[in-house]
Amino acid sequence: MSASMKKILTELEQLEISPFYADRIANDAQCVIGEGDVNADVLFIGEAPGKKEAETGLPFCGASGKILDKLLADIGLDRSTVYVTNVVKDRPPKNRDPKPEEIELYAPFLDRQIDIIAPNVIATLGRFSMEYIMKRYGLEEKLGTITETRGNTFVTEINGKSVTILPLFHPAVAVYNRTRYGELLTDFEKLKEYVETT
Ligand code: URA
């Protein structure tokens, strides 16, 4: 892990004001900062770690991760060439949705990761990261429901660099309903087109 990411991880591990801190310590669980190439062109941002992620410290290594791996393989993108993280870096109890104040607490850590990685494309996975990223980078007016917004690309500027935002459904939609895999793949294909031309 790069020194700058390690510094962020250490701060996260010591984030005692987090509502998830006590649970993490009690369960001997881990923060999940993210994984991949810190110089990646493509940054994927999910919601929050699940059980398996909190056990291993790795993002998207459980059931949703298997779907993500398959989607990446199907579009010919090697997972080691991208960076994968979440908005919230600790597991919410029983995998409940993160609350706005929890997203607000963890967002500055994500912002710092975006500054380090400086991706060309940010692919959000699910509505929480879509809403955070679009509001954070001046695209609030373009924001609709995840069903309306997903699969569309939006261009913004981050630290003087043009960055494309691509909201995607969360891979979890296909965990219990394999028929939704096709919708996910259609949107992921857009990412491939974009990556190939950058
Ligand atoms: N779901 C997420 O949003 N992130 C993970 O890391 C795993 C499941």
Mutate to test the pocket of ligand 1, among 64, 128, 131, 175 (most ligand atoms within 8 A of CB): 64
Contact, 85 vs 72, CB < 8 A?
no
Token pair, residue 160, equals: 């003087």
Alpha carbon distance 17, 15 (integer Å): 5
Average pLDDT score over residue span 103-107: 98
pLDDT digits (tens, 9 = 90+) for 108-164: 999 999 999 999 999 999 999 999 999 999 999 999 999 999 999 999 999 999 999
Domain layout of the chain by residue ranges = 3-193
Nearest to 127 by CA among 150, 157, 99, 111: 150
Report the predicted TM-score, pTM, of the whole model to 2 decimal places.
0.96
Domain 3-193 has CATH 3.30.420.40: no
DSSP 8-state assignment for residue 125: E
Closest CA to 188 of 91, 121, 131: 121
Q: How far, in Å, from the CA of 47 to the mean position of ligand 1?
A: 6
Q: Does ligand 1 come within 6 angstroms of the Cβ of 60?
A: yes
Query: Is 47 near ligand 1, meaning CB less than 6 Å away?
Result: yes
